[in-house]
Amino acid sequence: TADAATALGELVGDRAEEWDLAGRIPGETVREASRRGLLCAQVAAEHGGLGLDSRANGELTAHAGSLCGSLRSLMTSQGMAAWTVQRFGTAVQRGTFLPRLTGGETAGVAFSESGAGSDLSAMRTEIRRDGDTVHVTGQKVWVTGAAYASLLVVFGTYGDGAAVVVVPADAPGVRIERVPDPMGCRAAGHADVRLDDVRVPAGHLLSGAGLPVALLATAALTYGRLSVAWGCAGILRACLDSTAAHTRTREQFGKPLADHQLVARHLAELAVAEQVALRCCEHASACWDENRPELGTQAVVAKYVASREATKGAATAVQVLASRGARDGHPVARAYRDAKLMEIIEGSTEISQLLLADHVRTGRG
Ligand code: FAD
């Protein structure tokens, strides 16, 4: 993990602000991150990955989250793509697609549609098999990383159930259009994707076709939720570091800001928020690594807690840095914009609350 964290730190350097302002990470940097296995570090060594467990990958994700929310977003979607292939692919599919994801290519994961956001059962994208060919038709929105991707992991209806198909981004009938000016994670390459009777070989249809959409999507989202949660712990770390450094040196009313009690309380609350987020992440990752049945629920808890804490914590950090942080591109300004979006994705705060209430009500999972 230490080597991976160092490699990640070298790739980002001091360029996160520049990427955020430009709304773009250089393609070669994205490919290099993929080639080094950093974007989906849980993929096994036999497929060219780093073979990290969930905890170690989580720490790497938090490190990315503290440096650059956009690169961390690409890690989340690449990891989710890889996990979906790992979970639902045959041995041949794993052997075909995973080495591409650790060998310089990237993937976006496409669930959402204009009419199917929180409610994925409303998906209209149709996946249909006709002999050796699979046809895919539909329109996806806000696919993270799609602007950089050579592969799209597309969820859609399949007869009475659902399916996942791996679509090359350059297949005839695929059109990728960047989401203009996203509020946060601005360099994460979000794009809308139009699929117009796209034809791919049947070998691109992951096994598990026909399963209920909830089952297929939840498996992928569990990885995504955990990854977002760790990323939010990283956002909190960056906010804590910025506020600690600033309040030690900036003086008002004849003493450092940190010596003013109301500011000190902000520091204490940020420190606790980071710890709370981290503990929830560590617990959920332990559930993943020990294959425990409560993983699904604990991933929701971690994502819910960490994204809310990061949203509050980033607002606090902007408050404490005041004019020093009120500039686009500044780490706390990026944190403020990026963190809020983490309350929307992979199951919004409200959807998380519904899932957790359902868990309490039924006593399941
Ligand atoms: P809606 O579903 O319309 O919800 C609007 C509001 O209503 C929300 O506050 C929601 O919590 C609330 N709400 C909805 N239903 C209920 C309910 N039953 N009870 C209470 N409240 C409810 N999609 C992908 O497929 N792939 C990606 O890689 C991807 N990346 C994204 C990255 C970013 C930065 C963003 C902003 C979005 C991304 N999305 C992606 C889309 C994302 O998954 C959806 O935005 C999300 O599922 C919410 O859907 P929606 O925006 O349509 O909101």
pLDDT digits (tens, 9 = 90+) for 234-287: 999 999 999 999 999 999 999 999 999 999 999 999 999 999 999 999 999 999
pLDDT for res 325: 96
Asked if the model's pLDDT at residue 25 lies above 90, the reply is yes
Ligand 1: centre distance to CA 246 (Å): 35
Ligand 1: centre distance to CA 344 (Å): 5
- Cα distance between residue 228 and residue 157, in whole Å: 26
Burial class (CB in 10 A: 0-12, 13-18, 19+), 241: middle
Asked if the model's pLDDT at residue 184 lies above 90, the reply is yes
- Cα distance between residue 247 and residue 268, in whole Å: 12
pTM passes above 0.90: yes
Asked if the model's pLDDT at residue 230 lies above 90, the reply is yes
- Cα distance between residue 340 and residue 320, in whole Å: 18
Burial class (CB in 10 A: 0-12, 13-18, 19+), 165: buried
- Cα distance between residue 173 and residue 186, in whole Å: 27
- Cα distance between residue 276 and residue 272, in whole Å: 6
Ligand 1: centre distance to CA 348 (Å): 6
Q: What are the Cα distances from residue 214, in Å, to 134, 163, 166, 168, 358?
A: 22, 11, 19, 24, 15
Asked if the model's pLDDT at residue 363 lies above 90, the reply is no
- Residue with CA at minimum distance from ligand 1 atom 8: 348
Asked if the model's pLDDT at residue 99 lies above 60, the reply is yes
- Residue with CA at minimum distance from ligand 1 atom 5: 118
DSSP string, 135-187: EEEEEEEEETTTTT-SEEEEEEEETTEEEEEEEETTSTTEEEEEPSS-SSSTT
pLDDT digits (tens, 9 = 90+) for 125-168: 999 999 999 999 999 999 999 999 999 999 999 999 999 999 99
Residue 289 pLDDT grade (very low, low, confident, very high; cuts 50, 70, 90): very high
What are the beta bridge partners of residue 107?
151
Average pLDDT score over the chain: 97
pLDDT for res 1: 82
Asked if the model's pLDDT at residue 336 lies above 60, the reply is yes
pLDDT for res 335: 98
- Residue with CA at minimum distance from ligand 1 atom 18: 351
pLDDT for res 343: 98
Helices (H), the chain: 2-12, 16-22, 27-35, 54-67, 69-88, 91-101, 213-249, 261-289, 295-321, 331-342, 349-362
What are the beta bridge partners of residue 211?
162
- Residue with CA at minimum distance from ligand 1 atom 51: 117
ipTM of the complex: 0.99
Residues with CB under 6 A from ligand 1: 77, 108-112, 117-118, 142-144, 185, 190, 341, 344-345, 348, 350-351, 354
Asked if the model's pLDDT at residue 186 lies above 60, the reply is yes
pLDDT for res 329: 83
Asked if the model's pLDDT at residue 100 lies above 70, the reply is yes
- Cα distance between residue 97 and residue 77, in whole Å: 15
Query: Does residue 71 contact residue 36 with C-beta atoms inside 8 Å?
Result: no
What are the beta bridge partners of residue 133?
130, 201
pLDDT for res 332: 98
Q: Pick the closest to residue 331 from 245, 248, 216 (CA basis).
A: 245
pLDDT digits (tens, 9 = 90+) for 194-212: 999 999 999 999 998 999 9
Ligand 1: centre distance to CA 78 (Å): 19
In the chain, pLDDT over 70 holds for what percent of residues? Answer: 99
Asked if the model's pLDDT at residue 365 lies above 60, the reply is no
Residue range 315-325: mean pLDDT, rounded = 98
Q: Which strand (E) or helix (H) includes residue 133?
A: strand 133-143
pLDDT for res 300: 98
Asked if the model's pLDDT at residue 364 lies above 80, the reply is no
